[in-house]
Amino acid sequence: MSGKRPTTRKEIGDVAMGFDDDAGSAGIVRTRHVTFDRPGQELPLEGGGVLAPFTLAYETYGSLNERRDNAILVTHALSGNAHVAGRHDVADKRPGWWDMLIGPGKGLDTDRYFVICANVIGGCGGSTGPSSVDPATGRPFGTDFPMITIKDMVNAQVRLLDHLGVDKLLAAVGGSMGGMQVLELAVSHPDRTHLCVPMATAARQPTMAIAFNEVGRQAIMADPDWQGGHYYGGRSPAKGLSVARMVGHITYLSDEAMEEKFGRRLQDIHDYTFTFSADFEVESYLRYQGLSFTNRFDANTYLYITRALDYFDLTRRHGTLVKAFEAVKARFLVMGFSSDWLHPPYQLKEIVSALRATQRHVSYYEVESHFGHDAFLLEREKMEGIIAAFLSSGSKSYHR
Amino acid sequence: MSGKRPTTRKEIGDVAMGFDDDAGSAGIVRTRHVTFDRPGQELPLEGGGVLAPFTLAYETYGSLNERRDNAILVTHALSGNAHVAGRHDVADKRPGWWDMLIGPGKGLDTDRYFVICANVIGGCGGSTGPSSVDPATGRPFGTDFPMITIKDMVNAQVRLLDHLGVDKLLAAVGGSMGGMQVLELAVSHPDRTHLCVPMATAARQPTMAIAFNEVGRQAIMADPDWQGGHYYGGRSPAKGLSVARMVGHITYLSDEAMEEKFGRRLQDIHDYTFTFSADFEVESYLRYQGLSFTNRFDANTYLYITRALDYFDLTRRHGTLVKAFEAVKARFLVMGFSSDWLHPPYQLKEIVSALRATQRHVSYYEVESHFGHDAFLLEREKMEGIIAAFLSSGSKSYHR
């Protein structure tokens, strides 16, 4: 499933932020799909209704050992997908989105661990979502797709674990929305994972993040090409989605990172144009990020997934976070990032405090970084050792 | 020009944030207009071209004394206008935008000072801007309006000071974009003001603020009703402008203020609707703020003024901030607000350091507030005394 190949610096030289990937690649991987269409495999949804059948796109790296105690589930963030490491083709320009951490000898060492990553339901990376064909009508769901939640995403992935023969994960690891899935798994399926590594996340979506998501949704829904969500086959609401992505991008960076990365530098000009062109590098960057996103992401998925994020609130069903964590059995490594203002460290510390109050095994590690929220995708050197040590030490205490 | 009337608590009970306005109102005021259309009154623009004729809408409060040494210019922020204090009518629901600070006995005491506030050029509050009729064509300028800068805004206001017979202000006071105008006045017209009070601002627009402004501009320009800026007489790009305003609003609040003001509270419902409705109060608030803004503000003005903000950079013409301040004669009170993340205190401190490096008289005062950038419009009690004392003390050292 995951072959190895020699990796040269040249080949990975275009990887984000340009650190040297000297630990090797997960190699050539492919995305698989599994459709759950048998009785008992339906997915009842938190918001009502049932999704059946449904498909999950997923990738795996490394091998499940005989004791089946070396599986790690990696959960992705808003714009992520199943392709977390390696490349689909030798000609691939970019590896998977967390390639820096996953591969032979890396933090999530595929020589030791069996790493699984699935596109969430509601997604547009091969799993069933609003752009999928509704079996009832033969047309894409569009906004007839049922609302999904973080819990629904997790329940779907538990079906995948069953399918792969993984009764109990060694660990669930994820940042941002991925971190919410990790928390939800620990609470709703306490017997399914031994370790949890939520990072750059919160036990409930904070107000400011709801606010920014709402801006993105309004931008998409204001685009006449959105057409109430039934735009498939016609023009997609690219302008609205682009604006939504631009907003998102700003929240992933820190003030300091933006000053350093762009400052007030002009883009290929020596002086202001005194027009509405993208005079500044940061404008050009955001326009490019917005536009390129529309080539790979579905606007309705953006609506559904941001809604799932906003609805996430572990305290809601349980009253308090401490009560929510009473069922938890997993051991936790909680990671915050100093300049993350979308999920500032205090939101991670709330998780830690509540876990401590329930006498759970929890460590908190704060990464000093000026990359903002994006730090969890970039700060390899500051994260890798601590994660590897936590997994290695946790392997010893794993039991079914 | 500015009559007084008895003010009761009931009458001002609907003023923003509900503090008791016991110091009296500036009374009933009206907006005046002055058109500069004589030879020598043209406004050459920094980006090229000349604006002639041009009109400024302005209001004044209190009276200019015989020595003409008690005038204070208040400069407004992005969405402001000339109506800074008092009411236009006894039935007015809301007073001017800085009424909390301006009136008899208030921080800017209209019993002592002659307060002036003008809508900036490029604005949509009565001064010449993109929605004004282009004398060359007889139609609204739209995007044929020339690009304007903070310096152009200031130069226009200097024309107004000439018109009002104010050779030298006692003080120029303003927050956010108003603060930029104060800084520009001190640098470009060093003999025109004795005191300067810039607050919640920066000597150059920071990258993150450019980024958020660019999102707003893209949202407006993506709206098909924008029609390249020539929408007057037809439908205005209300959806785009609304999204732009929503983004702006988030940047004016702090994380803490949003948690406190809205948290995750639901709007008139007991449970999630599992739809894209405004389930959360914060969504409802932002939608309302966006929509109501479109009733009072012109989308093209939003484009032009955000561009003027983004172009603002005192270091650009002078190399360094210290060099820019070498011409300055005014004494400064610089105010920062602890939770302002659009213009964090470090940006105010840069101004202070550069002024100190040029041996200028400068005081820095940081207001502890959790209201974010909006604090300069809200924290009356924490600001009023310090501003009043600065003005009063400065009156004594005023000389032409």
Q: Quick: pLDDT tens for A302-349.
A: 999 999 999 999 999 899 999 999 999 999 999 999 999 999 999 999
Each residue's pLDDT tens digit, B313-371: 999 989 999 999 999 999 999 999 999 999 999 999 999 999 999 999 999 999 999 99
Each residue's pLDDT tens digit, B266-308: 999 999 999 999 999 999 999 999 999 999 999 999 999 999 9
Q: Is the pLDDT of residue A370 over 60?
A: yes
Cβ distance of A218 and B47 shorter than 8 Å? no
Q: Is the pLDDT of residue B5 over 60?
A: no
pLDDT at B189: 98
Residue A191 CA, chain-centre distance (Å), reads 22
For residues B87 and A260, what is the distance between their CA atoms, to the nearest angstrom?
45
A176 labelled catalytic: yes
pLDDT at B12: 30
Assign a CATH topology to domain A209-308. Rna Polymerase Sigma Factor; Chain: A (1.10.1740)
pLDDT at B17: 34
**For chain B, how big is the Rg over CA atoms in Å?**
21
Cβ distance of A222 and B214 shorter than 8 Å? no
Average pLDDT of every residue of chain A? 93
Number of cross-chain residue pairs from A and B with Cβ atoms under 8 Å apart: 147
- At A166 the three-state DSSP class reads coil
Cβ distance of A211 and B311 shorter than 8 Å? no
- At B372 the three-state DSSP class reads helix
For residues A339 and A373, what is the distance between their CA atoms, to the nearest angstrom?
7
pLDDT at A109: 97
Candidates A176, A188, A236, A339; catalytic one: A176
Candidates A69, A279, A310, A340; catalytic one: A340
Each residue's pLDDT tens digit, B111-153: 999 999 999 999 999 999 999 999 999 999 999 999 999 999 9
Q: Identify the CATH number of the domain defined by range A9-205+313-396.
A: 3.40.50.1820
Give the contacts of B126 (CB within 8 A, at least 6 positions apart).
Answer: B31, B33, B55, B56, B57, B81, B82, B119
Tallying the residues shown for chain B, one arrives at 400
| Mean pLDDT of all residues in A382-395 | 97
Question: Which of A240, A250, A282 has its CB closest to that of B222?
Answer: A240
A147 vs B contacts (CB less than 8 Å): 274-275
Cβ distance of B239 and A262 shorter than 8 Å? no
Quote the strand ranges of A185-330, DSSP E. Answer: 193-199
For residues A203 and A210, what is the distance between their CA atoms, to the nearest angstrom?
14
β-pair type (A54-61, A114-118):
antiparallel
Q: For helices A238-252 and A207-222, give the axis angle rounded to 10 degrees.
A: 160
Q: Are A88 and A133 in contact (CB under 8 A)?
A: no
Cβ distance of A255 and B344 shorter than 8 Å? yes
**CA nearest neighbour of B131 among B149, B119, B115, B113:** B119
Helix (H), strand (E) at residue A396: helix A380-397
Helix (H), strand (E) at residue A391: helix A380-397
For residues B171 and B75, what is the distance between their CA atoms, to the nearest angstrom?
11
- At A290 the three-state DSSP class reads helix
For residues B258 and A214, what is the distance between their CA atoms, to the nearest angstrom?
14
CB-based burial of residue B145 (10 Å sphere; 0-12 exposed, 13-18 middle, 19+ buried)?
buried
Question: Which of A240, A280, A286 has its CB closest to that of B310?
Answer: A280
B340 labelled catalytic: yes
Question: Which of B224, B283, B307 has its CB closest to that of A276?
Answer: B307
| Mean pLDDT of all residues in A30-55 | 96
Mutate to test the interface with A, among B144, B150, B218 (most CBs of A within 10 A): B218
Q: In chain B, what is the straight-line distance between the N-terminal and C-terminal CA atoms, in Å?
A: 26
pLDDT at B399: 83
- Nearest chain B residue to A264 by CA: give it: B207
pLDDT at B400: 76
B211 vs A contacts (CB less than 8 Å): 246, 250, 258, 282-283, 286
pLDDT at B20: 38
- Nearest chain B residue to A219 by CA: give it: B243
Give the contacts of A14 (CB within 8 A, at least 6 positions apart).
Answer: A93, A94
Q: A231-235 — which CB contacts under 8 Å span 24+ positions?
A: A231/A142, A231/A299, A232/A131, A232/A139, A232/A140, A232/A142, A233/A140
A344 vs B contacts (CB less than 8 Å): 255
Q: Where are the domains of chain B?
A: 9-205+313-396, 209-308
pLDDT at B73: 98
Give the contacts of A18 (CB within 8 A, at least 6 positions apart).
Answer: none
Q: Are A254 and A339 in contact (CB under 8 A)?
A: yes
Q: Is the pLDDT of residue A146 over 60?
A: yes
pLDDT at A187: 98
For residues A49 and A128, what is the distance between their CA atoms, to the nearest angstrom?
15
Question: Which of B47, B240, B253 has its CB closest to that of A274?
Answer: B47
B176 labelled catalytic: yes
For residues B272 and A389, what is the distance between their CA atoms, to the nearest angstrom?
40
Q: Is the pLDDT of residue B158 over 90?
A: yes
Give the contacts of B138 (CB within 8 A, at least 6 positions apart).
Answer: none
